[in-house]
Amino acid sequence: MIPRPIQDALQKIVGPQHLLTQKEDMLTYSYDAAVLDPVMPSAAVIPENTAQLGEIIALCHENTIPITVRGSGTNLSGGTIPQSSGIVILTGRMNNIIEINEADMYAVVEPGVVTATLAAEVEKRGLFYPPDPGSMAVSTIGGNVAENAGGLRGLKYGVTKDYVMGLRFFDSQGNYIKTGSRTVKCATGYNITGLMVGSEGTLGVLDQVILKLIPAPKARQAMVAVYDTIEQASETVAGIISARIVPATLEFLDNFTIRAVEDFSKAGLPTDAAALLLIEVDGHPAVVAEEAEQVKALCLKMGARTIDQAKDDAQRDKIWAARRAALSALAQLKPTLVLEDATVPRSKIPDMVRALQDIAKKYRIDIGTFGHAGDGNLHPTILTDRRNKEEFHRVEQAIEEIFDKALAMGGTLSGEHGTGIAKAPFLEKEAGYSSILFSRRLRAALDPKNILNPGKITGV
């Protein structure tokens, strides 16, 4: 519990209805989408504006109270699991789109803005904010920036870091820091913006984000390629990339996932297919028509049983809704779902798919695999029951082997879900001890009292 005088001070800052201390509320903020033990914080506080946010951070610094900021809590790495002695800052009330500048093509938003809300507002003006995590209907821009979130369009358009032009944030002591600018180019000072993206609430608390917007593509063509073998589908991914075609989206679903999605969403997917590729090309209408033909020919050449093009927007939306339902569909099957995102160079996708099949057999576990194959970023999803200790031990061994395989192929532990608590113990495998030490020194210098999201990324 935080001392009464500090509770009173927090209440004075945000008003009584925006300071939560009841056990039921603390339970709500004790976990996120990762499979980890929950920890109840001492309080949750819901600021409305910059001034309140700054005052809360300064108060916590003065009294050495750990802070965990929470957007929608959808992260998959334990990034919002708080300290029991600490508070959670909820960003839900800081959800204003401050500016959408059509002439200079940028937006300025508060951290609690929901990703899909921004995308829709921007689209109304003929502009485009491409990063589209599968969770975009609920995830926040603050959470996206702090995790460097990816999405389905990463292959052509990149990830969140490619759209962050500048930030306004509070450091651990409550100082207000400005980075970047509203200009396309900015070479002033250190690239603090780059440092903050993906920092998971450990280096500062975001208050405003300046995001780059781009013109919306004039045409789009979505397609579904159906395969009788998983190898043909994964070889097609490598084939499309090496043919120098860059679809906006190139997603993979294995049979396990196809059946779960079909059962869940009745999207009309072929449940007898070994694998599907969901592909979308976009851009100028003439280029889209040409690239769609190239992709079609390539898929058929690589062994696709069929390839169907979406006839209209409604069919296109149905395809992507089915893909976005993958995680929820798999989650229905067993009590515990562990979603991994070890990522490999794109040409290694066929090797990774084979490795995942072997690992599932070796450890006698169910793995549904789907994901952003065009980015080399598959999501092997293990279905289990954490209460079954013997089985869960096999799951943990399988996860470690997935990491080892990805690293041996020149890959990375996380393509987009971040390090948090879940991957902190494995960071040394990829980055080495010196890198961890460097990160810890950086953190100690910026946050000497270690109040900003302790335990995440660097393990301290």
> Could you list the residues that contact ligand FAD (CB under 6 A)?
32-33, 68-76, 79-80, 91, 111, 133-135, 139-140, 142-144, 146-147, 149-151, 200-201, 205-206, 327, 416-417, 453
- Cα gap 378→405, rounded to integer Å: 13
70-to-14, 89, 109, 283 alpha-carbon distances in Å: 16, 6, 16, 36
The b/e string for 337-365 (b: 16+ C-beta within 10 A; e otherwise) is bbbbbbbbbbebbbbbbebbbebbeebeb
**385: region left, alpha or beta (phi > 0 left; psi from -120 to 50 alpha):** beta
Closest distance to ligand FAD from the beta carbon of 390 (Å): 27
Whose Cβ is closer to ligand FAD: residue 35's or residue 298's?
Answer: 35
Whose Cβ is closer to ligand FAD: residue 139's or residue 384's?
Answer: 139
Whose Cβ is closer to ligand FAD: residue 232's or residue 381's?
Answer: 381
- Cα gap 396→340, rounded to integer Å: 11
Closest distance to ligand FAD from the beta carbon of 145 (Å): 7
Report the 3 state secondary structure along 206-235: EEEEEEECEECCCEEEEEEEEECCHHHHHH
Closest distance to ligand FAD from the beta carbon of 166 (Å): 15
Closest distance to ligand FAD from the beta carbon of 3 (Å): 24
Closest distance to ligand FAD from the beta carbon of 434 (Å): 24
385-to-37, 39, 335, 382 alpha-carbon distances in Å: 14, 20, 5, 10
Whose Cβ is closer to ligand FAD: residue 69's or residue 382's?
Answer: 69
Whose Cβ is closer to ligand FAD: residue 200's or residue 254's?
Answer: 200
Closest distance to ligand FAD from the beta carbon of 300 (Å): 28
Closest distance to ligand FAD from the beta carbon of 406 (Å): 16
Q: What angle do CA 412, 199, 455 make, to 5 degrees?
A: 90
Which residue's CB comes closest to ligand FAD? 143
Whose Cβ is closer to ligand FAD: residue 195's or residue 274's?
Answer: 195
Whose Cβ is closer to ligand FAD: residue 169's or residue 363's?
Answer: 169
- Cα gap 235→108, rounded to integer Å: 41
- Cα gap 335→129, rounded to integer Å: 35
